[in-house]
Amino acid sequence: MTQFSAMNQNTSSKCKNDYLVLGIVLIVALVHGLIYIYLIPPWQHYDEPNHFEHAWLIANNRQLPEAGDYDPVMSRQVVESMVEHGFYDRLPIRPNLSPDKDVKIGGYPQLDEPALYYLLAALPLSFFSSQSITAQLHAARFVSLFLYLISVLAAWGVAKELTSPGSPLRWLVPLTMALLPGLVDIMTSVNNDVAAVAILSMFLWVSVRMIKRGFSFFGFVLLCFLAGLSVFTKGTAYIAIPLMFVVLAFTLVRGRRRLFIWVGLGAAALILVAAVISWGDAAYWTRNTFQDVNARVATGQAPVGEHALQMVIDPSKPSPRNIWIRQALPSDVGNSLSQQTVTLGAWMWASNPIQVRSPVLRTYPGEQMIYEEVMIDETPKFVAFVTQMGGKTYRSFVSIEPLVGEIDEAVTIFVDGVVLVLGEYPTTEAPAYSNKYGKTGIWGGKPFSNLLRNSSAEQSWPRFRSWVDEVGVRILPDQNYNTPSVILNTIFDWETGGEYYWITIQRLLRTFWAKFGWGNVPLLGHKPYRSLAVITLVGLIGFIMLAVRKRRKFPWEIGLLFVIGLAAAWGAALIRGSYYVMTPYKIYYPVARYALPMVIPTITLLVVGWYGLLISLERWPRFKSPLLFLIPLVFLLILDVYSIISLAKYYEIGFFL
């Protein structure tokens, strides 16, 4: 009886310690959040004026807004507040606030976003309608702070489910969540990213609890409820829907029978890959069409080699707003075209006689579109033109976008032996290629070296099936333009896509840790993010080492849940701007906020990695100390102070200097 009583007391003591940790963590998060609410000047978060407008219209009109809605008085007040708080001080433009001028909030409208976050943010605005627009903004930021505290609570819950009583991870994981500068910056802004993080964080807590403890009716209802809420939050939160089925599978099937779930998931993954991917598209040529057949076809009519490019245009079928098959030139090749005379030519023919554009030469900057119109029929015809390039041509493209106007019946356009060369070559005769790949040859008695790769479509690689593109074009960013096939080609064509992915990886890392405002406010100092990159890498290596060492006790089912979520969230963030690699426009490089709905798995992975390395150090007598696990906390505190100083310096806030 005495032993039983002692066990109860010990359990009660550990529970009290857990809740003490929770209380401390929530206080830290609250103080941290309050600092950032007032430290960051009004409107200095991603699209904050537009997100605020959505919430304000709900609060004041008592109904959900529609695209194009706006309030002229409120819009003027917001823009005036933006001017007052220095929003335009570093921008080349300033708004016209003349009394007779209709003033609108610039930027990207957010009125078509799901309503959940804005309904919550509208609640305090209803009570602060008589206050200044800046005070109303701060009131809405407090709603975000509340959701931030919910997210930190969920991080504590996940850590508690995954660890044994007394583990340092029970306070390291939620404290990291509470102290991470890049996270608190987002989570105290007026932005629906905040709700996506909060909903997914709670969803993950319930998911981990169910996988660990088994099925319960309340847990099942809560899991489904949170997954349903994600649909009304933001597209980045939709990952909760497929994850819910993974959670239910591992919840309902226990013990050794879970092996069938692993086998089933593996088989489903293979079937999915086979269903969405096929082989045979033209390598280095990005296809933005919905055609069922490959952009590469074997044909006896091919003047060069055995294959040609083909574009099927059917006016009766859906298609992207812009139809093209395009090759991006590597940046060093694009630079070499600056102020040069170039010749572009190709063999062209069609299933029906039709007036078309020749291959198009596009450039950025300048957004040049150079081509000639020609008449083609069923017989291959060589077409070419000579042009003088303008100034800087950092990015250049050769594009097959033949349509001049509307067509009434389906037509297939064929293109082969596309050649782009420096210098002037005769346009009335075709080049003689050295081989079927069309890389070199003789043209007009002069040797040439083709700047294009796979000019005769002899090489192939994978593509997404047309139905995937038809679905993807409706849900991907830049709707009606962006297709999964375009994204896939930027990954395979590393010569042109590699720079985008390298810059994006750096930007994701920086904005995850500590880059603020609209992604434009860095930490002070010379290359401060290198140390953060090292710390991130150390966490990843430490996690892998610990997972291997503890593989028999490692919670692989929860690990799979986290891996799927991390791959989906960070993968989607990574490719978000890849479409622009293939367009003659400024490239958009995404930021970490798009992946933050999976912030708990991200932080857990890093913290567990640090913890694993610290355990290894603890084995050495000279390093053995109860204070060893405070190292990550000290690092985060230093980063926090440094971040606040950097923000104060950038925004010239004297109180903090």
Q: What is the pLDDT of residues 281-335, one digit of tens each?
A: 999 999 888 888 999 999 999 999 999 999 998 888 777 777 899 999 998 888 8
- Of the chain, the percentage scoring pLDDT greater than 90 comes to 72
Kindly give, in sequence order, each residue whose CB lies less than 8 Å from that of residue 454, ignoring residues fewer than 6 positions away: 282, 283, 284, 285, 327, 437
Q: b vs e for 515-535, b when ≥16 Cβ sit within 10 Å of the residue's Cβ?
A: bbbebebbbeeeebbeebeeb
* ∠ Cα 120 124 126 (to 5°): 105
Looking at the structure of the chain, the number of domains it has is: 3
Look at the block and give the residue holding tokens 């090292």.
534
Residue 584 lies in a domain: yes
Question: Residue 642: its pLDDT value, please?
Answer: 96
Q: Are 296 and 457 in contact (CB under 8 A)?
A: yes
Do 294 and 204 have their domain in common? no
Work out the pLDDT band at 55, boundaries 50, 70, 90: very high
Please report the DSSP string for 134-162 in residue order. Answer: HHHHHHHHHHHHHHHHHHHHHHHHHHHHH
Average pLDDT of 408-412?
89
Do 149 and 289 have their domain in common? no
Which of 242, 257, 272 marks a domain boundary? 257
Residue 291 lies in a domain: yes
Kindly give, in sequence order, each residue whose CB lies less than 8 Å from that of residue 227, ignoring residues fewer than 6 positions away: 203, 240, 241, 243, 244
Question: Residue 36: its pLDDT value, please?
Answer: 96
Question: Which neighbouring-strand residues pair with 442?
Answer: 432, 447
Question: Residue 67: its pLDDT value, please?
Answer: 87
Q: Are 567 and 476 in contact (CB under 8 A)?
A: no
Work out the pLDDT band at 169, boundaries 50, 70, 90: very high
Question: Residue 7: its pLDDT value, please?
Answer: 42
Question: Residue 14: its pLDDT value, please?
Answer: 61
pLDDT of 10 > 80? The answer is no
Work out the pLDDT band at 456, boundaries 50, 70, 90: very high
* ∠ Cα 22 30 236 (to 5°): 90
* 407 compared with 148, residue with greater pLDDT: 148
CA distances from 247 to 206, 241, 273 (A): 9, 10, 22
Please write the tens of the pLDDT for every residue from 59-115: 999 999 998 898 999 999 999 999 999 999 888 888 888 888 888 998 889 999 999
Do 114 and 252 have their domain in common? yes
Question: Residue 655: its pLDDT value, please?
Answer: 54
Question: Residue 1: its pLDDT value, please?
Answer: 45
Residue 42 lies in a domain: yes
- State both tokens at 589: 């490089």
Q: Residue 304 sits in which domain range?
A: 285-463
Question: Residue 479: its pLDDT value, please?
Answer: 75
Q: Are 410 and 314 in contact (CB under 8 A)?
A: yes
Listed residue (169, 236, 168, 166) closest to 201, CA to CA: 236
Residue 331 lies in a domain: yes
Is the bond preceding 365 in cis, omega lying within 30 degrees of 0? yes
Listed residue (150, 174, 151) closest to 162, CA to CA: 174
pLDDT of 376 > 60? The answer is yes
Do 195 and 312 have their domain in common? no
Do 244 and 290 have their domain in common? no
Residue 279 lies in a domain: no
Kindly give, in sequence order, each residue whose CB lies less than 8 Å from that of residue 161, ignoring residues fewer than 6 positions away: 205, 208, 209, 212
Question: Residue 11: its pLDDT value, please?
Answer: 53
Work out the pLDDT band at 360, boundaries 50, 70, 90: very high
Residue 456 lies in a domain: yes
Average pLDDT of 119-136?
93
Question: Residue 4: its pLDDT value, please?
Answer: 41
Do 403 and 538 have their domain in common? no
Question: Residue 5: its pLDDT value, please?
Answer: 47
Do 339 and 210 have their domain in common? no
Do 231 and 354 have their domain in common? no
Please write the tens of the pLDDT for every residue from 262-271: 999 899 999 9
Do 296 and 425 have their domain in common? yes
Q: Are 388 and 368 in contact (CB under 8 A)?
A: no
Residue 535 lies in a domain: yes
Residue 14 lies in a domain: no
pLDDT of 432 > 50? The answer is yes
Do 235 and 131 have their domain in common? yes
Secondary structure of 301-327 in the HEC alphabet?
CCCCCCEEEEEEECCCCCCCCCCEEEE
Work out the pLDDT band at 51, boundaries 50, 70, 90: very high
* ∠ Cα 104 108 114 (to 5°): 110
Do 441 and 559 have their domain in common? no
Average pLDDT of 459-467?
92
pLDDT of 627 > 80? The answer is no
Do 505 and 593 have their domain in common? yes
